[in-house]
Amino acid sequence: MPRHVVSRAGGLRDDADGNDRVLLQQHRGRPHPNISAQSESRRLPSVLIIGVRKGGTRALLDAMALHPNVRAVRKEAHFFDLNYSK
């Protein structure tokens, strides 16, 4: 089964040839031009992606990070793992 990702235009494209994987890597880690490093470090997130392992949360994050107004943090917070006992 082919993997799909959201393209810049918002549609799904096949990842069989690897072109979309390159597109995702090009956008990874780029801050939005209107966000400064100082203001970014003091802001709380407006969205949290919560999911189980192997549940597609990384794919969702990569797809959302393609949008120019979305600033995605690359390191997982592990909030519930670290703050609540199982």
Residue 51 marked in a binding site: no
Residue 21 marked in a binding site: no
| Of 42, 43, 53, 54, catalytic | 54
Q: Is the dihedral of CA 76, 58, 36, 43 positive or negative?
A: negative
Residue 55 marked in a binding site: yes
> What is each CA distance from 69 to 13, 18, 31, in whole angstroms?
21, 25, 9
For the beta carbon of residue 56, count every other beta carbon within 10 angstroms: 11
Q: Is 75 a catalytic residue?
A: no
Residue 56 marked in a binding site: yes
Residue 57 marked in a binding site: yes
The residues annotated with a catalytic role in the active site are 54
Please state the residue numbers annotated as binding site for 3'-phosphoadenylyl sulfate. 54-58
